[in-house]
Structure 1
Amino acid sequence: MNLIHRKICSSEKWAATVEERLAPWLKDRDLGDDVLEIGPGFGATTKVLLDAVPKLTVLEIDPASTELLRAKYGDRAEVVEGSGAEMPFADRRFSAVVCFTMLHHVPTRALQDAIFAEAARVLRPGGTYCGSDGQLNFRFRLLHIGDTMNVIDATTFPGRLEKAGFAQVSVDVRPRELLIFSAVKPG
């Protein structure tokens, strides 16, 4: 992340916005008893998830962010440093896998696809993979100058998730250019 992006994503204002948007969305979902969050960054989404799920594991690739997450939430969540494309977890461990506004930071389509496949691998049958990501607009592009920005194409995303092993795929682009998705690992 570039400096501006880091400043925004670590701000109290961002954390409040995330809570305002994510908490109602989570109330409509049963994520089960053991949830994995991929790429929590500074932990704004993690904070909200901790109040909504019984058990949370977070997987973060950035060492500095991992240490920050351990300091903030290590007493309430299992914090693991590692890549979503090569998850250090057993097959069928989690009831749900979630990721919020992080997929566009994955530099290649192949690595994104590896994350989808790994999410399917670590999910129990009937488990849900869901989350959100930004979509291309002028403000989003400005925020990512000098930063990784590999935006998910909403038209090809369902097929990519199906190829990774998911069914019941739902992809919706909402106002403000936000992509919301969910998929289920077949039983």
Structure 2
Amino acid sequence: MNLIHRRICSSEKWAATVEERLTPWLEKRDLGDDVLEIGPGFGATTAVLLKAVPKLTVLEIDHASSELLRAKYGDRAAVVEGSGAQMPFEANRFSAVVCFTMLHHVPTKELQDAIFAEAARVLRPGGTYCGSDGQLNLRFRLLHIGDTMNVVDPATFPARLGKAGFAQVDVQVEPKQLVIFSAAKPG
């Protein structure tokens, strides 16, 4: 992430915005008893998830972010440093896997697909993979100057999730250029 992006994502204003938008979304979903969050970054979504789920594990690839997450939430969530494309968890462990505004930071489509396949592997049968990600617009592009920005195409996203082993795939584009998705591991 570039410096401006880091400042925004680590700000109290961003954390408040995330809580305001994510809390009602979570209230409409049953994520079960053991949830994995992929790529929490500075932890704004983690803070909200901790209020909504009984057990939370976060998987973060960036060392500095992992250390920050341990310091902030290590007493309430298991913080694991590693890649979503090669998750260090046993198969069928989690009741839900979530990721919010992180997929566009994954540099290639192949790595994104590996994350989808790993999410399916670590989910219990009947478990849910869900989240959101940004879409290309001028503001989003400007925020990512000098960053990795590989947005997920909502037109091909359902087929990619299906190929990873998911069913009941739902992909929606919100008016604010946000893609909301959910899928289930067949059970």
Quote the Cα distance in structure 1 between the aligned partners of 2:23 and 2:146: 31
Cα separation, 2, equivalents of 1:3 and 1:85: 26
Match of 2:182, SS?
strand
1:2 maps to 2
Return the alpha-carbon distance in structure 2 between the equivalents of residues 103 and 175 of structure 1. 19
Corresponding position of 1:30: 30
Matches within 5 A, 1:3-82: 3-82=3-82
Cα distance in structure 2, aligned partners of 1:9 and 1:148:
15
Q: Helix, strand or coil for the counterpart of 1:51?
A: helix
Determine the C-alpha separation between the residues in 2 that align with 1:148 and 1:98.
Answer: 20
Whole-angstrom CA distance in 2 between matches of 1:2 and 1:168 = 36
Kindly indicate whether residue 103 of structure 2 is the aligned counterpart of residue 103 of structure 1.
yes
Distance (whole Å) between structure 1 residues aligned to residue 55 and residue 175 of structure 2: 31
Sequence identity, in percent? Answer: 85
Question: What's 1:166 paired with?
Answer: 166
* Number of residue equivalences: 187
**Counterpart of 1:16 in structure 2: which amino acid?**
A
TM-score, length-scaled by structure 1? 1.00
1:17-71 Cα deviation digits (max 9, x unpaired): 0000000000000000000000000000000000000000000000000000000
- In the TM superposition, structure 1's runs of 4+ consecutive aligned residues that sit over 6 Å from their partners are none
- CA–CA separation in structure 2 for the residues paired with 1:64 and 1:113: 25
Q: Which residue of 1 aligns with 2:116?
A: 116
Per-residue CA deviation, residues 88-131 of structure 1 (Å, 9 max, x unaligned), is 00000000000000000000000000000000000000000000
Ranges in structure 1 where 5+ consecutive residues have no aligned partner: none
Which amino acid is the alignment partner of residue 17 of structure 1? T
Q: CA deviation at 1:175?
A: 1.1
The separation in 1 between residues aligned to 2:59 and 2:107, in whole angstroms, is: 17
Q: Report deviation, 1:160.
A: 0.0
Q: Does 1:132 align with 2:132?
A: yes
**Residue 81 of structure 1: CA displacement?**
0.1
Amino acid at match of 2:62: D
The residue identity in structure 2 corresponding to 1:173 is V
Q: Write the distance in 1 (CA, Å) between the matches of 2:51 and 2:176.
A: 26
Q: State the partner residue of 1:86.
A: 86
TM-score by length of 2: 1.00
Structure 2 residue ranges without an equivalent (≥5): none
Deviation of the 1:135 alpha carbon:
0.3
1 CA distance for matches of 2:106 and 2:144?
A: 13
